[in-house]
Chains A and B, each alone.
Chain A
Amino acid sequence: MRRILLMSFAAVIGLGLAARAEVSIKGSTTVFPIAQKTAEVYMNNHSGKSVSVSGGGSGIGITALIDGTADIAASSRELKSEEAARAEGNIIEEKIARDAIAMVVHPSNSVSNLTRAQVRDIYGGKIKNWKELGGADIKIVLANRESTSGTFEALKKFLVDDMFEKFASRIYTAASSGAMTNFVAGSKGAIGYVGLGFLDSKVKALTINGVAPTMETAKEGGGYPYSRYLYMMRRIEVRPEVMDYVNFVKSKDGQAIVKELKFVPIY
């Protein structure tokens, strides 16, 4: 009896130690593919190291990082002031890629350019029909991401920069970027938004102020207005394997993966 107890005790401790050799990443669904792919390649190159990636949204990742339940928070936005206050200056925001938010519509939609002010008014519910924008007489169906989503936060920040008041109340929500493109592809009057990496042929990306969302235009100073940095946030003092992994993501090889996934490399 006693021996069994001792053995199980040892097993629990052993498991705990094994878990410490693991790097855990949590957060943004936008950063998720980057984190997942780099983790895969990193684990292939470093046998014995393990990196686990889970989604949930930037907010969840940052909360987990502050609470110590994750080593790295993947985030598509900077720390909010409340989060920064809770982190007490203990967190470093590592820039790992750039991303652009593309406004997407149904492929049959004849509208192909919007100004930032028009996007703001569409999401504010002031423009309700595509004919007001020179398109067909179809009611605009607004699609939004959940407020857990970093992409939502980023779009909202862009809109607020343009003196946005608030979202129209009749607005559909899509649970993920994939769900968003499916939603927009399934509704003629729909408008939604996704990160550049999630653009596909099912939907049509709009130019904003005349600039199309591409790898080039999304670079700093590239002219595409809805573009931003993506982050992997870590504590200042981290275990060597955490630092090692972050450095890998920022390295040439890591950035090649970023590019492969249709995000914009930082260099």
Chain B
Amino acid sequence: MNSFKEKLIKRLFCITAYASLLFLAGIMFVLFKESLKALEEVSLPAFLLGREWYPTDTPPEFGALSLFAGSLSVSFIAVLVCVPLGLGSALYLHEIASERQRKILKPVVEILSGVPSIIFGFFGLVVFAPLLQEMFDLPVGQCLLTAAIILGVMTIPTITSLSEDALGFVPRSFKEASYALGADRWQTLRRVTIPAAASGIITSIIMGIGRLMGETMIVLMVAGGAAVIPDSLFSPVRPMTSTIAAEMGEAAQGTLHFSVLFEIGLLLFIITFILNVISELISRRYRLKLGQGR
């Protein structure tokens, strides 16, 4: 009985360990399979470089460039918001804050990361968009900038906690050596700690971008939803994620539209996959560099 139980438990854990792999393989398979129709019927240049997104017209047009541009522009501007703030707070937490401040600030950052994105979206829609509209005298508050700022704030904790971990990995001896050579705190931070943690920090930023690209609810609520290539910060955008979310329900299964939405999903998956691989490569290198071959 006991050995049977042991075997059973072992199996169970084995299954759970491989489950993620199975899910990943399953997701990739389904994404490819469902995109096949789109890959066959819509030429790749028309899909990747076309600006006209009229999925329900007859004949439909599936130019995803505006959607891609939407995702890219929102993520890029959001990075400008979340990297300085996230990195700044990581540096403060790790280098300057007293133990008491850390005890307050760290949980606060973690709570921020636990706020569901729909709450951010709601806040953006009800509070921030009207504010921005009034401030800049815009016809409409839902735009690229609104979405990017809200997304940026949402991503701060990702950057902060990962960067803080990276700073924590820098061996004490590095800093001590720097101080011993007469460097002050600022010089040590700038010339020793940050460069030593650089790859970890870059990883955190890339992970942040991955999160930004994949975020759906906020952009659905506050980005305005127009499939155009943005020409200003106040232009409405329609990122890839919100397009899928908004149109999946209407597209009847088996239609070309349905398949094209999967193709967008595939594109998104490839982008985040590449980002993940890059960050994995960088972080591996960085661990080796610090002599922590884990």
Identify the A interface with B (CB < 8 A): 56-57, 59-60, 63, 80, 82-83, 86, 139, 141, 146-149, 156, 166-167, 169-175, 183, 186-190
Task: List A contacts of B54 (CB < 8 A).
Answer: 166-167
Evaluate contact between B139 and A148: CB separation under 8 angstroms: no
Task: Give the CA-CA distance A86 to B51 in the complex, in Å.
Answer: 32
Encoded as 1 (CB less than 8 Å from any A CB) or 0, chain B from 33 to 64 comes to 00000000000000000011111110000000
Interface string of B111-138 (1 = CB under 8 A from A): 0000000000000000000100100000
Known contacts A172-B236, A175-B220; A139/B139 CB under 8 A: yes
Number of A-B contacts (CB under 8 A): 77
Q: A147-B55, A186-B130, A186-B133 are in contact. Are A172 and B140 (CB under 8 A)?
A: yes
Most buried by A among B226, B228, B253, B255: B226
Within 8 A of A (CB), among B171-213: none
A-side contacts of B6, CB under 8 Å: none
Residues of A within 8 A of B130 (CB): 186
9 interchain pairs, CB-CB under 8 A: A63-B252, A147-B55, A147-B246, A147-B247, A166-B54, A169-B227, A170-B226, A170-B235, A189-B139
A57-B249, A60-B249 known; A141 vs B220 contact (CB < 8 Å): no
Rounded to whole angstroms, the CA-CA distance of A25 and B187 in the bound complex is 66
> Quick one: given A59-B251, A187-B139, A189-B139, are A147 and B220 in contact (CB under 8 Å)?
no
Q: Which of B139, B238, B253 contacts A141 (CB 8 A)?
A: B139
Out of B53, B139, B250, B255, name the residue touching A57 (CB < 8 Å).
Answer: B250
B228 near A169: Cβ-Cβ < 8 Å: yes
Q: Report chain B residues within 8 Å CB of A141.
A: 139-140
Q: Which single residue of chain A is at the shortest CB-CB distance from B61?
A: A166
Tell me which residues across on chain A come within 8 A of B235, comparing CB atoms. 170
- Nearest Cβ distance between residue A137 and chain B, in whole angstroms? 13
Interface residues of B in 245-267 (CB under 8 A from A): 246-247, 249-253, 255
CB distance from B256 to the nearest CB of A (A): 11
B141's nearest neighbour on chain A, judged by CB, is A186
From B52, B57, B246, B250, A173 is in contact (CB under 8 Å) with B246
Instruction: Tell me whether chain B's interface is mostly helix, strand or loop, or mixed.
Output: loop
- Is B224 part of the binding interface, using a Cβ–Cβ cutoff of 8 Å? yes
Contacts of B247 on A, CB cut-off 8 Å?
146-148
* A173-B246, A186-B140 known, 14 other contacts, Cβ within 8 Å: A57-B250, A63-B253, A82-B255, A139-B139, A146-B247, A147-B55, A147-B56, A147-B246, A169-B51, A169-B66, A170-B235, A170-B236, A175-B220, A186-B141
Cross-chain contact B246 with A148 (CB below 8 angstroms): yes
> What is the distance, in angstroms, from A192's C-beta to the closest C-beta of chain B?
11
The verdict on B149 contacting chain A, using a C-beta distance below 8 Å, is no
Please report the C-alpha to C-alpha distance between residue A57 and residue B251 in the assembled complex, in whole angstroms.
11
- Give the docked Cα–Cα distance between A146 and B253 (Å): 18
Chain B residues near A82 (CB, 8 Å)?
252, 255
Q: Which partner residue on chain A sits nearest B57 by CB separation? A: A166
Q: Please judge, given known A-B contacts A148-B246, A166-B57, A186-B140, whether A173 and B224 are in contact too, CB under 8 Å.
A: yes
The 7 closest A-B pairs by CB, nearest first: A173-B225, A148-B250, A59-B250, A60-B249, A148-B249, A146-B246, A141-B139
Assembled-state Cα–Cα distance A147/B53 (Å): 12
Which of chain B's residues have a CB closer than 8 A to the CB of A83?
A: 252
B221 CB-CB contact with A under 8 Å:
yes
